[in-house]
Amino acid sequence: MTIDIQKFRDLNPGERILMGPGPSDVPARVLQAMASPCIGHLDPYFLKIMDETQQLLRFLFQTNNALTIPVSGTGSAGMETCFVNLVEPGDDVVVCINGVFGTRMADIVNRIGGKLIRVEAEWGRAIDPEAVRKAVEGRNPKLIAVVHAETSTGARTTLEDIAGIAKKCGALFLVDAVTSLGGVELAVDKIGIDAVYSGTQKCLSCPPGLSPVSLSDAALKVLKGRKTPVVSWYLDMGMVGSYWGAERKYHHTAPVNMIYGLREALRIIAEEGLEARFSRHKLNHKALVAGIEGMGLSMQVPEAERLTTLNAIRIPEGVDDVKVRKALLNDFGIEIGGGLGNLAGRIWRVGLMGHSSRKKNVLLFLTALETILKSQGVKVKPGGVEAAAAVYPKA
């Protein structure tokens, strides 16, 4: 077999402004950190980097959990990690479903032999705690799982009441924080979360490839007391935890340069400060909504249940979803996402996450969207960009 190597040119994806559901823009500092020399995953210097990464993750999760680590894999690996370690065949598991990722949770529970108890809400709405309360009446579920920030719809579910329900019925509380960690307040210990996972490519503004996970002492007790082995060797936190813990027992080769990048992304977050970071995301979300509504468009999710990091905009009647997104990418270099499931063709998903959550991105997106819609003959109210700009403090 021969190959014409000249056909394989240097990489040049071009410039993009990543305002979709993920990944988000990556700061140059993170990319530079990832370009540092690769060393062994048991090298003394790298072991120090591992310890620092764990400390920074605990700061971000606002937890003292000993097992707080980046799992080698994307956010879906974090999801699977939490379920396969904590659920055994026959366990009652309550899964709250209000979008694609709640549906994935339910799928995993079925695959590993848990007894699934579904609590469902309309896509684009938060989970009602009362529905959870009714679902657990007369039961002692092993675990209650909810998506904090449903990426597929832009809905945010408040966690405190559901955490209280889990505690009252003796269940572990599991949270998907893929699109909230680093952009929305998430105090793991204060809320009472026992298992939580996220992804590096959203509000952390690090490339995809790692899934931060944190397990409470109660979750670790359940893991240690299992009657059956964890069905996934690769994601068995009993073994992986021994590599990240004091034992430094080899399990698998860690993605060294990805962890360099995560450590730098976490340093950037710590430098900004959590409160300042959350406030920045709120401000840019508020400006985006003001601009969208100023143009005469509307948001999919009710105001009290909206995510600040992922914004679902209703597509106006008669507008070609794909054509608009292609024009944004080709003419302005802006990437946004379309709807999933029963919201396909009905919403645009606009991410304002991490490094992408900036005033200039908000105003550029609104300008581009207005220009494209007008070019397609859609009537748009004037003043959307001005309405967004008015939200920001005057210099």
Please give the pLDDT value at position 113.
98
Nearest to 359 by CA among 296, 280, 295: 280
**Mean pLDDT, 10 residues at a time, over the chain (395 residues)?**
92 94 98 98 97 98 98 97 98 98 98 98 97 96 98 98 98 98 98 98 98 98 97 97 94 97 98 98 98 98 98 96 97 97 96 98 98 94 96 89
Please give the pLDDT value at position 59.
98
Burial 228-249 (b: 16+ CB within 10 A, else e): eebbeebbbbeebbebbeeeee
Whether residue 23 is preceded by a cis peptide bond, meaning omega within 30 degrees of 0, is yes
Domain 274-389 has CATH 3.40.309.10: no
**Please, what CATH class does the domain formed by 28-271 belong to?**
alpha beta
Do residues 350 and 365 make contact, with C-beta atoms less than 8 angstroms apart? Answer: yes
Strands (DSSP E) along 259-377, which ranges?
Answer: 310-314, 334-335, 337-338, 347-351
Q: What is the pTM of this model?
A: 0.96
Please give the pLDDT value at position 394.
85
For the chain, give every residue range classified as CATH 3.40.640.10: 28-271
263: amino acid identity, one letter: R
User: Which residue is associated with the tokens 């889990």?
Assistant: 166
Do residues 302 and 294 make contact, with C-beta atoms less than 8 angstroms apart? Answer: no
Nearest to 84 by CA among 201, 255, 226, 254: 226
- From the CB of residue 268, how many other CB atoms can be counted at a distance below 10 Å? 18
CA 327/CA 365 separation, integer angstroms: 12
For the chain, give every residue range classified as CATH 3.90.1150.10: 274-389
